Amino acid sequence: MVDKQHGVSSESLAAVYEDLRGLARQLISDQRPDHTLQPTALVHEAYLRMAEQTYIGDLRRPQLLCVAAKAMRHVLVDHARRRQSTKRKTSGIRVPFEDVFALYEGRASDLVALHEAMERLSVIDPRLEQVVELRFFGGLSEEHIADALGCSRRTVRREWSIARRWLRADLQKGQ
């Protein structure tokens, strides 16, 4: 069945819904302890953004997960920005890229700085930004990223390495 308003196949959404919830739980658990966004809210907000901007009814599972990763990234970044704007106490200190990944394992660090760096990377090479997004925000393996982007795992591995080095340098410049 297809939702006429959004063009979304309920079968395609149901097929990835549990994956999205699992990813949302992981992303939220990696945030600060006082984070106010819940996994279900993250999935639903991401779905609304997907439905507003992209016709996803004909997408295969890997592409649907790519769209969902981008939507979740933007939901989390927007949430972080709103939270920062209410505090109005930003130190302006940026965290090195390696530290962002290290902290991400336990708690997310400066999502806004990472997002801004990824936007700068997308100007230089949109594909590298996409690989980071799928790996970092989408939680996809090299194999799944390769499938989604239509390239080899070796290409994904190389682009992931290049993107990490570029982002590390860019984030260190902003300190």
- 50-106 per-position pLDDT tens digit: 777 656 667 777 777 788 888 888 888 887 777 766 554 544 455 454 554 444 433
Are 29 and 76 in contact, with CB atoms under 8 Å apart?
no
pLDDT surpassing 70 at residue 14: no
Long-range contacts at 32-36 (CB < 8 A, ≥ 24 apart): 32/107, 32/108, 33/107, 36/79, 36/83
- Copy the structure tokens of residue 76: 């989390």
pTM of this prediction? 0.62
Domain ranges of the chain: 2-173
Locus of tokens 């799928």: 134
pLDDT score, position 107:
36
| Percentage of the residues of the chain whose pLDDT score is greater than 90 | 23
pLDDT score, position 100:
47
- Copy the structure tokens of residue 89: 């106490």
Locus of tokens 């953004």: 49
Locus of tokens 């239509």: 150
